[in-house]
Chain A
Amino acid sequence: MESNKLLEIKDLKVSFYTPAGEVKAVDGISYDLNEHEVMGIVGESGSGKSVEAYSIIGLLQDPGKVIGGSIRFDGEDILSYTPDQMRQFRGNKVSMIFQNPMTCLNPVYTIGDQLMEALTCHNKNVSKKEAWDRAVEMLELVGINNAENRMKQYPHEFSGGMRQRAMIAMALICSPKLLIADEPTTALDVTIQAQILELMKDIQKKTGMAIVFITHNLGVVAEVCDRVSVMYAGHIVEQGSVGDIFYRPAHPYTKGLLRSMPRVDELEHERLIPIEGTPVDLLDPPAGCAFGPRCEHCMKVCLKKAPPTLEVGDDGHTSACWLYVKEMKEVRQDG
């Protein structure tokens, strides 16, 4: 599939300087995102998945700092943007939706005001009438019935699912090329989650925008994403098409995650195979592979050096694991 690269992230490093020491929240991740593509970023809490997204949109908060690498959007280096350029870039070309919609909507303005403001702050020459019509159109797009009346309501009059819909409408009102969705369904119930996922898939098909979908839920990833990056302790440990990740997982962490999940479609009771150990202490990460101490295949080299990222299959299926180096070594020795 030939398509243009929309977002190129190279060796991005983000650190938080806390009183207790430096926390390498994102420690050298690279990926490309094509136009119209949905990239899932999966990881547990503290894996750095949200931090990475916040740095794309320039909303990284103190004491977090991008300390290395580059982020290019449509060929432009966005890390060199001035705050003004960043504001124009945000909302216009990239928008973001968050886990908790209530904290992102201002309770003292109507939904309509907030939608129209999102549009007019980037397009000064839009008339009030046009903005209103566009806002109503967006609300209808995200499946809010009776949009004209809903425009005049306040956030507290909306239910949880409706608020997330309104948030999506607001994010999409300037037709961004990229939407960053940070755990958009985590705070929602399963039946509402299904509605929102259906809606996002639908809108993605209609508008063709690219999505970076951050979640900890592998089921959600399977449902909506084209490609997946699996993150662990600030590193992308595996990356590939959704099929690669779910049917041909290469990294022991990915495999472990898939094995440890109970499935509603399991036919008989099978004991889960958990990943042993406790999550990484980011203040004091282990030397070498961050997953090493929890990995069933852990080798001596894993505790000394960080593994290289290798292509392990077609279509950019990569994995950062010493096991593949070991295999290469064996293949070489055999001739």
Chain B
Amino acid sequence: MKKNFNLFQLNVDRIPGFDALGPDDFAPATAEEREAMVESRASVSYWRDAARRFKANKVSMAALALFLLIFLFSYLGPLFIPYNYSDQYRGSGKLGPGEYSKSEQIIKKAEGTCDGFFATSLIPGSLTNLGRNTTYYFKYGGTTYSFYNESAVSNAVLLFNASSLTPLSLITEADLDAGSLDKAAPLEYSTGAVDPSAPNTQELKLIKRVFPHVFGTDSSGRDLMARTMYGGRVSIAVGIIAALIVLIIGSVYGSVSGLAGGRVDFVMMRIVDIIYSVPDVLIVLLLQVVLKAPLQAWLDASATDFARLMSNLGVGIISIFITFAALYWVGMSRIVRGQVLQLKEQEFVTAANALGVPGRRIVKRHLLPNCVGQLIIATCLQIPSAIFLESFLSFLGLGVSIPMTSLGSLCSDALDTITLYPYRLLFPGIILTLLVLSLNLVGDGIRDALDPRLKK
């Protein structure tokens, strides 16, 4: 060590707190003191680390929230509204967002003054009028009210006010147009017990208030919000099921190809190339045409729950699944094969070989766990593209069959009347766009979280 004390003395001023330093400060530090300085951080597993990265990604978190919102809207929404996707309401056709049909307007006006309503137009389907020579009854506050209807009445509103002198009054179709409560004609009734099993006796379900058609209705009087919810259900379910089909077929095919290598790999990948070059939309169209009759026959013939569900969705959806199973797995199989090939060359696999670890164990312990991240990423990004494809096909009229609906077919229906009722395209269109966008952003977020290298 070279010492130059003159220089040292010149420098003293530059050392802050030189005089305050005592011999204590220059005592050797103990091993513990040194150790304390090098604190190790808590152990983080790969998944927890990924979750942390995902949570830190504001865009993906917002997209996830948006997706959950749409998911809840689609799956829980129908529980909270009185309308069904398939029910047609007479007199409710072609309503704009938030608009009411004539009978609903009457009820709206009378809300608060009456204890209950019955509008014939609020019963979907065939039962749109009060039949003739029928006794109708309902229970209210322990009393059974009944009245006898002689001639058929359609599109009428029954008002019920227990405390009034004339608890029951009826506004008929002709008077609905006037929109006035004054036209209500009192109705004869009795309060005796009614035998529900007697012929021509029916119970009425009174309603308290009308639920608005938030998104409006279509030309057949179906509530568009209910249809959008069910359309969302179908789209999300189709997306997830199709992505799972792709995942299973693609990863099995890809890993077999990657692991086998050599000639097997070559042949398997050329098959993939051929499938890649097939125009997919054309195949979907062909499948639809070819499969329609036999599928329908099979669905009609078999009486299982599965078949019923499928026939509810329609032949179109089944052929979309078949298309995914037949064509869309190729992308996934290439990803998996690439991943397997890359992992096979990794030194930790060589190390396992050098230790004599058997092949099956290498696949199970080393290759699969390291593929999982990629598989999740690819599947997550597959969902929105499946949703998009389904919507596209439904838009072309090839997806779900009426009355079942999907976001795509809603858009397609709306297109016919776009100039008159643009909002019919707006709502399902916005939901579809937000759904695909949010899933893509979530997928991107998962990719960045699971594989931070890709981002750079």
Interface residues of A (CB under 8 A from B): 19, 248, 250, 277-278, 281, 284, 286-288, 292-293, 297-305, 308, 310-314, 317, 322, 324-329, 331-332
A300 and B24 CA atoms in complex are apart in Å by 7
A297 touches B37 (CB 8 A): no
Distance of B456 from chain A, by nearest CB (Å): 10
Q: Are B29 and A312 within 8 A (Cβ)?
A: no
The residue from A286, A311, A313, A326 contacting B37, defined by CB atoms under 8 A apart: A286
Q: Are B2 and A250 in contact (CB under 8 A)?
A: yes
Instruction: Using A313-B2, A329-B21 as known contacts, say yes or no to A302 and B29 having CB atoms under 8 A apart.
Output: yes
Contacts A19-B56, A293-B37, A308-B16 known; A325 to B29 CB distance under 8 Å?
no
Contact B27 A299 (CB under 8 A): yes
Beyond A281-B41, A324-B8, list 15 extra A-B contacts (CB 8 Å). A248-B2, A292-B37, A300-B27, A301-B26, A303-B34, A310-B11, A311-B4, A311-B7, A325-B18, A327-B3, A327-B8, A328-B5, A328-B11, A329-B21, A332-B9
A332 contact set on B, CB distance < 8 A:
9, 12
Closest Cβ of chain B to A329, distance in Å, is 7
A–B Cβ pairs within 8 angstroms, 18 of them: A19-B53, A248-B1, A277-B38, A292-B34, A293-B37, A299-B25, A299-B27, A300-B27, A300-B33, A301-B26, A305-B17, A310-B15, A311-B4, A313-B7, A325-B15, A331-B8, A331-B9, A332-B9
User: Once the chains bind, are B26 and A326 in contact (CB under 8 Å)?
Assistant: yes
Nearest Cβ on chain B to A136's Cβ, whole angstroms = 38
Q: Please report the C-alpha to C-alpha distance between residue A40 and residue B3 in the assembled complex, in whole angstroms.
A: 24
- At the interface, is chain A mostly helix, strand, loop or mixed? loop
Distance (whole angstroms) from the CB of A149 to the closest CB of chain B: 37
Q: Is B28 an interface residue (CB 8 A)?
A: yes
- Residues of chain B within 8 A of A314, CB atoms compared: 4
Q: Which residues of A contact B9 (CB under 8 A)?
A: 328, 331-332
What is the number of residues of chain B that contact chain A, defined by CB distance less than 8 Å? 31
Residues of B within 8 A of A329 (CB): 18, 21, 26
Q: A287 vs B36: C-alpha distance in the bound complex, in angstroms?
A: 10
Residues of A within 8 A of B16 (CB): 308
Question: Which residues in B have their C-beta under 8 angstroms from that of A278?
Answer: 38
- Chain A residues with CB under 8 Å of B364's CB are none
Q: Which residues of the partner chain B approach A288 to less than 8 Å between Cβ atoms?
A: 37
* Residues of the B chain whose Cβ atoms lie less than 8 Å from the Cβ of A287: 37
User: Does B14 sit within 8 A of A, measured CB to CB?
Assistant: yes
Contact A293 B34 (CB under 8 A): yes
Q: Is the CB of A325 within 8 A of B21?
A: yes
Q: Does B182 contact A (CB under 8 A)?
A: no
Q: Is the CB of A310 within 8 A of B8?
A: yes
Asked if residues B2 and A303 are in contact (CB atoms below 8 Å), the reply is: no
Taken together as a complex, chains A and B put the C-alpha atoms of A299 and B7 apart, in Å, by 23
A312 near B38 (CB under 8 angstroms)?
no
Minimum CB–CB distance from B40 to chain A (whole Å) comes to 8
Task: Knowing A250-B2, A284-B39, A286-B38 are in contact, say whether A301-B21 is a contact too (CB < 8 A).
Answer: yes
Q: In the complex, A313 Cα to B4 Cα: how many Å?
A: 6
The 4 closest A-B pairs by CB, nearest first: A286-B37, A301-B25, A293-B37, A298-B29
